[in-house]
Structure 1
Amino acid sequence: MDEEKAEIAASHHRHPRRDTLSTDTDLSASVEKVFSSKPVLPWKQQLTVRAFVVSFFLSILFTFIVMKLNLTTGVIPSLNVSAGLLGYFFVKVWTKFLEKFGFLKQPFTRQENTVIQTCVVAASGIAFSGGFGSYILGMSERIAKQADRGYQHDSKNPHLGWLIGFLFVVSFLGLFSVVPLRKIMVIDFKLTYPSGTATAYLINSFHTPKGAILAKKQVEALGKFFSFSFLWGFFQWFFTGGTDCGFVAFPTFGLKAYDNKFYFDFSALYVGVGMICPYLINISLLLGAILSWGIMWPLIETRKGHWFDASLTNTVHGLQGYQIFVAIAIILGDGLYNFVKVFGHTIFGLYKQFQTKDSGAILPSDEHPNPEVSASQSFDEQRRTHYFLKDRIPTWFAASGYVTIAVISIITLPHIFHSLKWYHVLVMYVIAPMLAFCNAYGCGLTDWSLASTYGKLAIFVIGAWAGASHGGVVAGLAACGVLMNIVSTASDLSQDFKTGYMTLASPRSMFVSQIIGTAMGCVISPCVFWLFYNAFPDLGEPTSQYKAPYASIYHNMAVLGVQGFGSLPKNCLKLCLIFFIGAMAINGMRDLLGKKWARFIPIPMAMAIPFYIGGYFAIDMCVGSLILFLWQHSNRANADAFGPAVASGLICGDGIWTLPSSVLALVGVHPPLCLQVVPRLKK
């Protein structure tokens, strides 16, 4: 979900990597004075062939990582540090090699580094916003059969052809909708975009002499732990030849705890994710697991035969119904609260900006690219403003691009999803620019993207509009995908514009890089998903290695939207209302008590994730937190400098192991052994 993803990214980037920058006092005082002797190349020269070749291979790597996270738990950390480090490393190796043989024509610049970062994040972002672990899989017959609520006919199985076509017609609209607003967002309103700012600090630091030395050491650390994580995944594979086999099914805390989803599954990937995620996220996950699987579900299970039919325990009419719908209630409560909060911030921020706008300051504008700037501006601001507004992207180009793609989508989407009518799509595209602006502006203020919240609203509105008898489930899920892609890419591009502003990368090169990266993602992500889908026939099932929990959650949201609350198990609605209100109340307490005390109050959205899938991955992530905590306690400077690199190595190694393991499954090569722990025989 975007909310978790944004919160993780925001928390990770809340304190940008100034330790790298502080190695040079001049750089700390003025970044642009350090780089003033280096020429800024024209925007076309920032878009190099080597940049896009490196971006393509890194996009495949990160798509596998994001896809695995999507299909296991749905918790996706910020991978910007990994993308920045690896992009810097590969191009540096490339240029060193060419320089050695005298073929180097263009040195590696921070603008080119920004292009790579933008392209990779745009491509791998499609693996998330494409909904492969949520709305796309949620509309499949496989998930519909699990729900068993009479909607098996209202489904659409994923297929590579329509997946690629769907993504191509919905993934670019958000980019065109936010392009005309770039000056307003970045220069006039001076929005912070914390993740974009932190990424810029990282890239700027790489291209200083001392920063380059640190980056080299970070890449070495990443490489070591990448190798360890990959080989550990390879070793574990040999022992997974059956159901509940291998280290991933080891009852660390005993068989009773294992039955209630409490165990350490030796996942290097989630240990790495835990090192990147803030402590509060990991503790919230663990608290959610204890509350649900440690207390609530065992108690509710004792009521079988009274609250629900004992023979329906593992369906949505039984215990599974409580697990899914209570999780949905928390997600919706948290999402609604943050929607109102961020939307309120947006309206108030806009009002304040227009009220306090200094009309006396002379800023460069699109019409006057090189005017005299305000004396109050620093050297950095003057230089950045000049280059940011030097290469204009005409408003007519953005508007005509939006209208053209919208017309194509209105014609195409009803042919892909027969229950989604052209007037449904038209209404969404009329309001989408406003929602894209709100999401991009709110993201600039808070670093919080509400893309999936807008998508959930579309599930209920369009699903109810289409109706249960006219394919409302598929229509609602498809509408979720349309709106989610538009508002997600809009906020992503705004973050990239901020990064480009601070690294002097041209807005044109940012836009083109985002377009190319999105196009890559529209092909790479469906292909990677299709590999998973065919390699693991049980994908999406509760007993699978790839449970895809949000597929069931999104499907049941769509059913709820067209059917109402009538078929929920006994007392499930009461519990849902309690947790819905509770999620909003906890968020209210966090805001009222301020930052000092909010760090001790759990985050409801994070607590909701284990309610359905269990607490095993929360234990992995808490182990990651513990490793980082002990490392910081012994050597904080070392931990701050190399912690993200070590975590990235663990994530990348385990994530890329899914490629050979999927290929082995496709060609019929299965693990030879089954490692399993069973109770001892009683005498």
Structure 2
Amino acid sequence: MPLAAGFVGILPALTLLSEERDGTPPIHLSWIEAVAWSCGVAFFGVFLSPPIRKQVIIEEQLTFPSGTATAQLISVLHKLPPPDTTVRHRRGYTHIDEEEHVSHDGAQGPSTPDDLSDEEIETEERETVEHDGWRTLSWSFSASGSLTLFAYFFPVTFTIPLFGNYLAREWLWYFTPSLSYVGQGIIMGFPTTLSMNLGMFVGWAILSPLSKLSGWAPGPVGDMTNGARGWILWTSLGIMCADSFVSLLPVAFDYVGDLIARRNKDYLTVDESRTRTHETETEDRLVPMTWVLFGLVSSILVGTILVWIVFGHEGIKPWATVLGFLLGGMLSIFGVRALGETDLNPVSGLGKISQLVFAWIQPGNIVANIIAGGVTEAGAQQ
């Protein structure tokens, strides 16, 4: 919650304002105002989560590496059957049927005996998880912990100059070994990690030198303000936002089509593929859509009022706060999709997109710009 409410980003930034430089004196919130601000942004993302869950987990079946690893750990600790970790796919991928393994004499390969009951199979799975799972977990934990401890006492491990000291110093081309990211790569699989490596090469081997040598980012490469790191950030955000927006278009079209079909009372004749769902939970375990809509509207109204009470009319206008919530909801979808595919939630970058929009809507209002970024980051973090 401290991170989502901006206690390590937005609120400290407000205290660093300078009237000479920014035209606004620094803003220091009392503990009551800090609580009010936290309550204002605490519930919007919570009510936004049910429809996002349906899209990214049920329909697109994204990986969510940390969640998958947590489920695996729970199964080991509580001696449960391992969770289903089959490769998930993104919407639009074509399913490839697996061919049955056939031996040279035409007979099928070995399969699970039919005479085993479900209880016996479950018991066998539990024993396998208990034995192999604990052993694998212990070895992996020991290796990762040893590497982290070694890097703490020998910091040079974090910046290994694989391509020479000059490229490491001037262009940040160095290697930081981390078994944590190795584990994430194992869960994410080849397609996602290959795309990430391609992005790394294009961003830091092509776009970074191009922006530096062309004078678009004249500062140090690692500078977020006028360096290549900040310049390529906007390129990456544009790519992620465009990809997320296009992938959500079919969902929006299907939803609009269903609404039109219901209005025309032809819902029974709607194509079966449109109404097909991968939902595994029963209706009594799902959050009703009426609750979601009521919660979203209520959280926006309450949040707008609390933000207006805390910062006043001169800080950010109520209509701008409402716009910030709406923009934050859209960008939250992009952040969650990035989290599901890469285990990285670019909340800081998404907040910058919101700040860019408000720099155009309310130019010169630094406070409104920072608050808008805070609202967006809060929704994406939740």
TM-score by structure 2 length? 0.58
SS of equivalent to 1:468: coil
* Root mean square deviation of aligned Cα: 5.5
How far is 1:326 from its partner? 3.1
Q: 1:484 matched to which residue of 2?
A: 380
Q: Is 1:171 the equivalent of 2:37?
A: no
Aligned counterparts of 2:126 and 2:35: Cα–Cα separation in 1: 39
- CA separation of 1:219/1:299 partners in 2, compared to 1, >3 Å: closer, same or farther? same
Deviation at 1:220, TM superposition (A): 3.1
Cα distance in 2 for residues equivalent to 1:455 and 1:389: 35
The equivalent of 2:158 in structure 1 is 248
Q: Structure 2 vs 1, CA of residues 210 and 151 (structure 1 numbering), >3 Å: closer, same or farther?
A: farther
Q: Which residue of 2 aligns with 1:232?
A: 147
Separation of aligned partners in 2, 1:341 and 1:421: 32
Q: State whether structure 2 residue 341 is matched by structure 1 residue 474.
A: no
Q: Distance in 1 between matches of 2:189 and 2:34?
A: 34
Paired letter, 2:147: W
Q: Is the 8 A contact 1:154 1:474 kept in 2?
A: no
Unaligned stretches of 5+ residues in structure 2:
84-121, 271-275
In the alignment, which of 184, 190, 199 is matched to residue 273 of structure 1? 184
Q: Secondary structure at the match of 1:261?
A: coil
**Partners of 1:227 and 1:152 in 2: how far apart?**
53
Tell me the distance in 2 between the aligned counterparts of 1:277 and 1:196: 6
Distance 1:425 1:277, change over 3 A: same
User: Distance between the aligned counterparts of 2:186 and 2:311, measured in 1?
Assistant: 41
Please tell me the residue identity of whatever aligns with 2:380. M
Asked if 1:327 is matched to 2:203, the reply is: no
Determine the C-alpha separation between the residues in 2 that align with 1:396 and 1:297: 48
Pairwise CA distance, 1:313: 3.4
Match of 2:252 in 1: 347
* Conserved 8 A contact 2:208-2:229: no
Is residue 462 of structure 1 aligned with residue 358 of structure 2? yes
- 5 Å-filtered alignment, 1:619-630, equals none
* Partners of 2:286 and 2:368 in 1: CA distance: 43
**Equivalent residues of 2:62, 2:341 under 8 A apart:** yes
Measure the CA separation in 2 of the matches of 1:219 and 1:161.
Answer: 47
Query: Given residue 273 of structure 1, which amino acid in structure 2 is its aligned partner?
Result: Q
1:212 matched to 2:126? The reply is: yes
Conservation of the 8 A alpha-carbon contact between 1:239 and 1:247: yes
User: How far is the alpha carbon of 1:258 from its aligned partner?
Assistant: 2.2
Structure 2: how far apart are the matches of 1:472 and 1:434?
A: 18
Map Cα deviations across residues 505-558 of structure 1 (whole Å, 9 max, x no partner).
Answer: xxxxxxxxxxxxxxxxxxxxxxxxxxxxxxxxxxxxxxxxxxxxxxxxxxxxxx
Give the counterpart letter for 1:211 in structure 2.
E
Deviation at residue 471 of structure 1 after TM alignment: 2.9
Q: Structure 1 vs Structure 2: percent identity of aligned residues?
A: 15
Higher helix share: 1
What is the CA–CA distance in structure 1 between the aligned matches of 2:203 and 2:352, rounded to whole Å?
Answer: 24
| 1:33-52 alignment, distance < 5 Å | none
Structure 1: any 5+ residue segments left out of the alignment?
A: 1-125, 241-245, 362-376, 490-683
Alpha-carbon distance between aligned partners in 1 of 2:225 and 2:49, rounded to the nearest angstrom: 41
Contact 2:358 2:368 in 1 (8 A): yes
- The count of residues paired between Structure 1 and Structure 2 equals 314
For the residues of structure 1 that align with 2:81 and 2:180, how far apart are their CA atoms?
Answer: 27
Contact 2:355/2:372, CA 8 A, preserved across alignment: yes
CA contact (8 A) 2:45 2:380 kept: no
Deviation at 1:468, TM superposition (A): 1.0
The 1-side partners of 2:52 and 2:235 are apart by: 35
Residue by residue, what CA displacement relative to the aligned partner does 1:88-119 show, whole Å, maximum 9, x if unpaired?
Answer: xxxxxxxxxxxxxxxxxxxxxxxxxxxxxxxx
Partner amino acid, structure 2, of 1:313: G
User: Which position in structure 2 is the counterpart of 1:593?
Assistant: none
Cα contact 2:158–2:177 (8 A) shared by 1? yes
Match of 2:110 in 1: none
Shift of residue 168 of structure 1?
Answer: 4.1
Change (3 A) 1:403 1:350: closer
Determine helix, strand or coil for the equivalent of 2:251: helix
* Residue 234 (structure 1) shift: 2.2
- What residue in structure 1 maps to residue 109 of structure 2? none
Higher RCO (CA 8 Å, separation ≥ 6 residues): 1
Aligned runs of 1:60-209 on 2, under 5 Å? 136=10, 139=13, 151=22, 166-176=37-47, 192-195=59-62, 205-206=81-82, 208-209=122-123
* Cα distance in 2 for residues equivalent to 1:232 and 1:201: 24
CA apart distance, 1:227: 2.6
Selected match of 2:167 from 254, 257, 261: 257
**Amino acid in structure 2 at the alignment position of 1:314:** P
In structure 1, C-alpha distance between the alignment counterparts of 2:366 and 2:4, rounded to whole Å: 26
Kept in 2, the 8 Å contact 1:339–1:450? The answer is no
For 2:25 and 2:240, the matched residues in 1 are separated by 27
Q: TM-score, normalised by structure 1?
A: 0.36
For 2:373, give the aligned amino acid. L
Structure-2 change in CA distance of 1:168 and 1:319 (3 Å) = closer
